[in-house]
Structure 1
Amino acid sequence: MMDVHISSEHQHSLTCKYLPASCFYCYVPPSQSLRSPISNVQSGVTSREPIQSNPTPDPYLYNQNQWNSSHAIRKSFETIPVSSDDNRIINFERFRSRKRKTYRHIDGTLSFKKSSPALQYYDTIDKKQQPQIVTVVNEFCHILQNRITTITAKKLTDLLDKLTPVMKNLFNSNDQEQQQLPILIDILNALLNVHATVLISVSENKFFSLLQTILITLLNQWRSLTYLPNDEFYVFRLIVKLLNILTHSNNLIPSGLYDSTLLETIANCITDIATSERFLDTKNKHQFRYFTHLIDAYTLYQESSKDRNQSNKDMFVKLLHPILQCLTSNQYIHIFMNLSINSNSMTATEKFFLLICPKFLISYKGSHLEQTMKTLLPVMLPQYLKILDKFVPSAHNWNLAMLRSIEHLLRIINHGADHSPTNAKLISNYLPLISHILKLINEPKFYNNLHPTLSNPVTKLINTSISFLVNMIKEPTILAHIKQSRVALSFLRLTSCQNEKLILNVYTLLAYTTHEDDMKSMQNSDRLLSTIVQSLKITLNGNSDQSTQMEQLLETLKGLVQHDQIKDEIIKQNALPFLLACTDELTEKALILLYEILWCLAFFEDIASSLSANPNFLDKILTISKDSNSMSMKRAVGGLIWKLIQEPAYLKKVEKQEEEQKLEAKEVSKTEETIIEKNGIKQVDTIETSNDGMTADTRSYQYDIMISYCHADKELTYKIYKFLSDQGFKIWIDMDNMYGPAMSAMANAV
């Protein structure tokens, strides 16, 4: 243990800031043998407690025989000038010592535990290594301390290049606790104070590969012991904090930290957590908390990889199955079912199972996503329904913990549903779950407390619920269930929210779930259309890539134009020219949706006339029909071609045929019939007949039955078709989506 004295070094140079009557303590090492390699960097701890000048040391605390190298407090002063640089150094050193030193301020004396490794590791280092380790570590920490705001990436790289081989040699020694960890703690503490942009610039330095090896060792030790000793835990904590700085600043993880061995070690830890309760002991809560921060760092990086190639999206796939084990474990269900609805805070265990694991799954967009959901949902949907059965009736009493947990549960169910029908098909067997979501949307506590930003937990829950329903209505069974629930007024209520994303999703639901009579009674249907069109214009003129929003707006409009009232509004608001202009601006899926909208509008006579009178538009769709390789595009423009060009020509042809048949029916045909009477005399009679006497029984038909169906019911329709065919019926059916020639065939069949 060492004593401290008041330093007077700064009194001559400090000029800008003053503190009230205080004392300034600095560490004075008692001997060279106990001096740290970074002893030239003096650590400071300030106390604002006034003390008497030249106090007499307490004999009990000040034992001259034991502390022969210590010094009494030498001087007090009224005011100490402190420069901004010195104040920064004091704060830096205060941070460094926070978890490593204990002190008690009694009569102006600062005491340290003699057993602290930080005060002993110098003696334990091999004498041959001392000069090199002392020099390199001392230089590293001293420079970072004094140039913390001005150090460049190049200078930090040079320092790390010198430091790394020295640390590797040190970590090859046998005494980890006494030699390696205290030094590493000082180095990591120094790095944590470097500006994030500089850290990002050096993140691929070999020093971070060394951290990977250390992290593997610590995680294996945690698995073995289910806890980490003090210094090991502190190193683990600092590495995780450093990793979080990188991911939160630039969505970056050093390449050494997605090493296969490290990921396997983390995966093993997660598996242990899923299958054993020994890691969930309250004594282990601090280690467990920083482990969740580690998973969160990987999650954040995974979220940022959504626009990267597929291989990057599968970078952390080794963690996916262990996370899935946690999400399907009995512990997940037990923790959720016992979560308090009144709580605003969550334990580390609750956060891990109910927030961190769901976040990792939700951030995964890789090649195993569909199979993952096929594995997860059949097992967990019954459990999710039980959870909602228990908690939804008390939704008006939910606090933050329950809001966040339910929101993450819904995001799990919804994950991948925008690209795959798997989720909706499975959920169609659990319609009470849909009813629970509709109840949440209709909860006054929620719809009366919506905010413009999704950072608000209530707004986030409602937005997730609405997004979930938008993906579910692609399944006919779920769409019919929502329509039967008559929730149009609930959806309309949400349009008063100021969050654009939420409103857009609500409009999509209104477009597909509103009954025709509800739409007719809706007083603001004109505003509904004008809002969609205006949003399309804004999105189209936006500088950034907003293809997803454009596609959703068009999807919404596609649902709306099925209603006659919206078709009328298209004419009234003169929106058709804008839609036609968009055919020159949009591509791919957005353009397909636009042509499908125009196809639907073409069944409205006034709009069909406008489109038919536009030769440029007709030429465009004819060209696309010939040149496009997309079947979806061919189908959309094929429907337009049929409706605008081929159907009018076909109707004229039919009309001409009917006229000819009428004329033929009016013609009288004469036939002669020779009759031989009983007396043998022949008599020739002339018989006049007209063709209008032909009955339906005398006509011949190519088909007995024509089947028209929704293509969402294709499988059921095929079974009906096969059954009737086996009974000998001649059936016309379009087993592919109808467009182009198939429409002509259908017309002929009719």
Structure 2
Amino acid sequence: MDLILKRPLAMIHQLQRQHSFLTIENVKQILDETVLFLNTTNNRANGLHELATICHELASVHMLIPFDNIEIIKHEFFIILGRTFEMLLSKARLISMTKADEQYFYDLSYFIVNLCLHKNIAASNFFIANNEKLNPNNEEKYDPVSYQKIFFTKSFFQKFIKIITHDLIINDYQPFHVKYKVTHSLLRLCIELNEIDHSLLIDPIIQCLNSNFYLNTFKTIDLRQAIFNPKQLFFICECPEFIIQRCLKQQDQLSNLLCLPMLEYSRDILRQHLPVSLEGEDLENIVCIRGAKIQAISLHIKLLNHFALTPATRRYFIIGM
């Protein structure tokens, strides 16, 4: 390891052993030295390895505490991180990744998701911040810096959409493949975040639900599987949840597009999973041992209920197909 990076990593490890929090000064020093290394190294592979190593170390719960500081959010490190992650999004779609690249891909995504979920906007006094935001004179200039603005760029969405539409609904991978791990966590993050353009993801998610992968993923749920694997999380959990939570303005249009295919899928899904989920054991054991099957049925019924509450498609649940 380069001597430049030994100091920040040693600092992180020492604080971890002492169960201490990183201070703002600690974080700035770590990021400064990491950027210095990344800007001076001639070995791209080595630079990616070191960037992923720093992200992995910083992603622990204790390490996230100081990242909501405005000086930290604006640091050049996060610009480099965002661009590198976009490069890996493209690489994951276009060429086979090595095991090392897959680990880097996961480590960077995990750190980004945690930053956006837990430390997205710089901390400030609640009353002062809200008064400034509500002041009409500040309407144009009040645009707080955030991690989602750094990472969720137009370029990011283009690459994220392509890995869905040009890869995941075309090619089949092992259930725990890193592409499913990364995309399901990114889609979950998009559902949670408010100030992004959710409309960009509507067509890709519709394609996922209309693809064979949605129904076929139900067929992969094992009888005694307790929780979903990453592939099941993406297709069965996150894609329907995105439609329910983030497409209210297009609810009638999307319900018309998806209702009949989902009702058609219901026959196979309920025929396969419902009898097996309910037979034999008492309720407590069923939920514990067959949790994935029960959750899958519940999520599909939740999506159907969303369509049933939509005026445009309610008739299908009253008069039948």
Measured against aligned partners, the alpha-carbon deviations of 1:498-519 in whole angstroms (never above 9, x if no partner) come to xxxxxxxxxxxxxxxxxxxxxx
Q: Which residue of 2 aligns with 1:355?
A: 237
Whole-Å separation in 1 of the counterparts to 2:116 and 2:278: 37
Instruction: Report the alpha carbon displacement of residue 329 of structure 1 after superposing the two structures with TM.
Output: 0.7
Q: Which residue of 2 aligns with 1:157?
A: 28
Give the secondary-structure state (helix, strand or coil) at the position aligned to 2:100.
helix
Q: Which residue of 1 aligns with 2:65?
A: 197
Q: Which residue of 2 aligns with 1:424?
A: 314
After superposition, residues 490-569 of structure 1 pair within 5 angstroms as none
1:237 aligns with 2:109: no
Runs of at least 5 residues in structure 2 that lack an aligned partner in the other structure: 122-146, 280-285
Report the residue type matching 2:298 in the other structure: E
Measured against aligned partners, the alpha-carbon deviations of 1:555-606 in whole angstroms (never above 9, x if no partner) come to xxxxxxxxxxxxxxxxxxxxxxxxxxxxxxxxxxxxxxxxxxxxxxxxxxxx
Measured against aligned partners, the alpha-carbon deviations of 1:43-76 in whole angstroms (never above 9, x if no partner) come to xxxxxxxxxxxxxxxxxxxxxxxxxxxxxxxxxx
Instruction: Report the alpha carbon displacement of residue 404 of structure 1 after superposing the two structures with TM.
Output: 0.9
Task: Select the structure with the greater relative contact order (CA < 8 A; seq sep ≥ 6).
Answer: 2
Report the residue type matching 2:150 in the other structure: G
Quick one: which of 52, 77, 88 aligns to 1:185? 52
1:37 aligns with 2:2: yes
Name the TM-score, length of structure 1 as normaliser.
0.34
Report the residue type matching 1:151 in the other structure: L
1:276 aligns with 2:154: no
| Residues 200, 236 of structure 1: alpha-carbon distance in 2 compared, 3 angstrom cutoff | farther
Q: Is the 8 A contact 1:199 1:246 kept in 2?
A: yes
Report the residue type matching 1:321 in the other structure: D
1:257 aligns with 2:128: no
Measured against aligned partners, the alpha-carbon deviations of 1:531-569 in whole angstroms (never above 9, x if no partner) come to xxxxxxxxxxxxxxxxxxxxxxxxxxxxxxxxxxxxxxx
Q: Which residue of 1 aligns with 2:185?
A: 293
Q: Which residue of 2 aligns with 1:370?
A: 252
Could you say which structure has the larger radius of gyration?
A: 1
Q: Name whichever structure is richer in strand by fraction.
A: 1
Instruction: Report the alpha carbon displacement of residue 274 of structure 1 after superposing the two structures with TM.
Output: 4.4
Q: Is the 8 A contact 1:164 1:207 kept in 2?
A: yes
Q: Which residue of 2 aligns with 1:412?
A: 303
Give the secondary-structure state (helix, strand or coil) at the position aligned to 2:226.
coil
Quick one: which of 83, 91, 98 aligns to 1:213? 83
Q: Which residue of 2 aligns with 1:222?
A: 92
| Residues 138, 324 of structure 1: alpha-carbon distance in 2 compared, 3 angstrom cutoff | same
Whole-Å separation in 2 of the counterparts to 1:273 and 1:223: 6
| Residues 401, 241 of structure 1: alpha-carbon distance in 2 compared, 3 angstrom cutoff | same
Give the secondary-structure state (helix, strand or coil) at the position aligned to 1:344.
coil
Q: Is the 8 A contact 1:243 1:297 kept in 2?
A: no
Whole-Å separation in 2 of the counterparts to 1:262 and 1:292: 15
Give the secondary-structure state (helix, strand or coil) at the position aligned to 1:422.
coil
Runs of at least 5 residues in structure 1 that lack an aligned partner in the other structure: 1-35, 39-133, 306-311, 432-750
1:176 aligns with 2:44: yes
Report the residue type matching 2:53 in the other structure: D
Report the residue type matching 1:153 in the other structure: I
Q: Is the 8 A contact 2:308 2:314 kept in 1?
A: yes
| Residues 210, 416 of structure 1: alpha-carbon distance in 2 compared, 3 angstrom cutoff | farther
Report the residue type matching 2:269 in the other structure: I
| Residues 150, 389 of structure 1: alpha-carbon distance in 2 compared, 3 angstrom cutoff | closer
After superposition, residues 76-115 of structure 1 pair within 5 angstroms as none
Report the residue type matching 1:294 in the other structure: L
Report the residue type matching 1:37 in the other structure: D
Instruction: Report the alpha carbon displacement of residue 187 of structure 1 after superposing the two structures with TM.
Output: 1.9
Q: Is the 8 A contact 2:240 2:303 kept in 1?
A: yes
Q: Name whichever structure is richer in helix by fraction.
A: 2
Instruction: Report the alpha carbon displacement of residue 233 of structure 1 after superposing the two structures with TM.
Output: 1.7
Give the secondary-structure state (helix, strand or coil) at the position aligned to 2:258.
helix
Report the residue type matching 1:183 in the other structure: E
Give the secondary-structure state (helix, strand or coil) at the position aligned to 1:207.
helix
| Residues 143, 337 of structure 1: alpha-carbon distance in 2 compared, 3 angstrom cutoff | closer
Q: Is the 8 A contact 2:274 2:297 kept in 1?
A: no
Q: Identity over the aligned pairs, expressed in percent?
A: 17
